[in-house]
Amino acid sequence: MADISDYDRNKYRHRDPEDTAEPAEGTHKATYHQDPFAPKTNAVSQEAQAFSRDVAANRYRSERRHVSNGLPTAFERKEERRVAGSGAYGAHGVGEAVAPSSHRRRNIILAVLGVLLICLILWYASLAAAMRPGEDVSKVVTSPLPGKPYYVLLLGSDSREDTADDSRADSIMLARVDELAKKVTIVSLPRDLRVEIPGHGTDKLNASFAYGGVSCCIETVEKFANVDISYYACIYFSGFEQLVDDLGGVTVEVPEGTYYDGVRVPAGDAVTIDGEEALVLARCRHGDPPDQGAYAAGDYQRTLNQRNLVKAIAKKALHAPLWKMPGVITSVAQCVETNMPPYKLAFLALAMHGMDTDSMYMAVVPSSPKYINGVSYVIADNNAWSAMMTRVKAGEDPNC
């Protein structure tokens, strides 16, 4: 038997049984019932022919039903699968990328979320390790109400060794925090303020640490200001240097210049300082040149410098890009001792991100110095203080 080409072989196998046209000249003449590669037979069985006709008829009727019901035909369904990327080559043809299936996309998303979760856990662990262990004040603080403003006792420490002693009362401030409104009010309380210390009579506010540490100071300030305090944060000035350097420096208002140990901070409305200069500004009690003695306003000037510095740091930190916030929060945690849980510190920083720090209210207890029995005190003007705290509680400017 003569060789048969692939073309002729396929033509013999798929020839329509109703096609009666003669093969082209030069090709082997065959009918639907003939196959040169099959055993010689005269005809296909009648049963096979009937089965083929039934299949074709059923397929035809099915397509007619789809058309009459407005459904896509087999060809249209195949085309939809090809366009959707479920065909052999996808929607873009041979050699082009096939769109990932929904299952593949889900796996990619889950993998990315898993990596982010691991990074978050590692960062949170490092944040918790960076935070200094705080004093147990659970018996004297009040948990804040959801969505409501709360109060934080801010303590500044000039202790070179960062030890837990009464040097932590170097500066004392009361902060009202409103996360929803992104507003903060800070009121300075002079260290020599004459107050009633629960269980110990009348003394300087700073003495409360000697009587009972942070817990006693919290109770004393709560009674003096008639508010409930939820958290405390002791800020070590020695940590300001690294924090300010991590932020790339800050711009602060310096009403009166200062100088210490070769470091000069000039006066100005917007002075850009680095970490070393920030430390000098927070610590120094005298102006520039140093031989002029203490500030003309005394300790009021130093507490004003500290408030301005806190404001400048908050402005730089809370306006950092979001992707830098984890590093900023960690830097803050390294110079703060607090009873605030790490997750709360992180949430607070994110909640206050972008706040208008120029509208941050700053004030000091209305008071005046006075000697009593040969001891120097700062005496509060009770009427003015009560009116100020009324404005503070309302979220208004306390200086109006």
pLDDT digits (tens, 9 = 90+) for 115-141: 878 877 776 677 777 676 678 898 999
- What tokens does 61 get? 């009727």
The DSSP-derived string for 81-110 is: HHHTT-SSS-TT-TTSPPPPPHHHHHHHHH
Q: Which of 124-128, 158-162, 237-241 is modeled with the greatest confidence?
A: 237-241
Of residues 117 and 229, the one with the higher pLDDT is 229
Most trustworthy range by pLDDT among 167-176, 225-234, 236-245: 225-234
Label residue 371 by pLDDT band (50, 70, 90): very high
Instruction: For residue 108, count CB atoms less than 10 angstroms from its CB and return exposed for 0-12, middle for 13-18, buried for 19 or more.
Output: exposed
Query: How confident is residue 306, by pLDDT bands cut at 50, 70 and 90?
Result: confident
Q: What is the mean pLDDT of the chain?
A: 78
* Count of helices and strands (H, E) across the chain: 11, 14
Higher-pLDDT residue of 133, 226: 226
Query: With bands split at pLDDT 50, 70 and 90, how would you rate the model's confidence at 40?
Result: very low
Would the CA dihedral through 384, 386, 389, 391 be positive or negative? negative
The per-residue pLDDT for range 345-354, each reduced to its tens digit, is 888 988 898 8
Question: For residue 188, what pLDDT is reported?
Answer: 92
204 bridge partner residues: 194
Domain ranges in the chain? 6-83, 131-393
* Least confident stretch, 32-36, 44-48, 111-115, 153-157: 32-36
Residue 326: is its pLDDT beyond 60?
Answer: yes
Look at residue 204 in the predicted model and tell me its pLDDT. 93
- Picking from 168, 188, 159, the residue whose alpha carbon sits closest to that of residue 300 is 188
Cβ 287 vs Cβ 295: under 8 Å? yes
Q: Which CATH superfamily is domain 131-393 in?
A: LCP protein (3.40.630.190)
Q: Omega before 289 cis (within 30°)?
A: yes
What predicted TM-score, i.e. pTM, was given to this entire model? 0.68
Taking 3-state DSSP, the helix, strand and coil percentages for the chain, each rounded to the nearest 5, stand at 45, 20, 35
Arithmetic mean of pLDDT, 279-302: 75
With 0-12 / 13-18 / 19 or more C-beta atoms within 10 angstroms meaning exposed / middle / buried, residue 347 is middle
pLDDT-derived band at 4 (thresholds 50, 70, 90) equals very low
Predicted pLDDT of residue 114: 81
Greatest mean pLDDT among 85-99, 155-169, 201-215: 201-215
Q: What is the mean predicted confidence (pLDDT) over 58-81?
A: 66
218-223 mean pLDDT: 96
CA-wise closest residue to 340 among 184, 138, 122, 120: 138
Segment 171-213, tens digit of pLDDT: 899 999 999 999 999 999 998 999 999 999 999 999 998 898 8
Asked if the model's pLDDT at residue 14 lies above 70, the reply is: no
Predicted confidence band at 11 (pLDDT cuts at 50, 70, 90)? Answer: very low
Q: How confident is residue 292, by pLDDT bands cut at 50, 70 and 90?
A: low
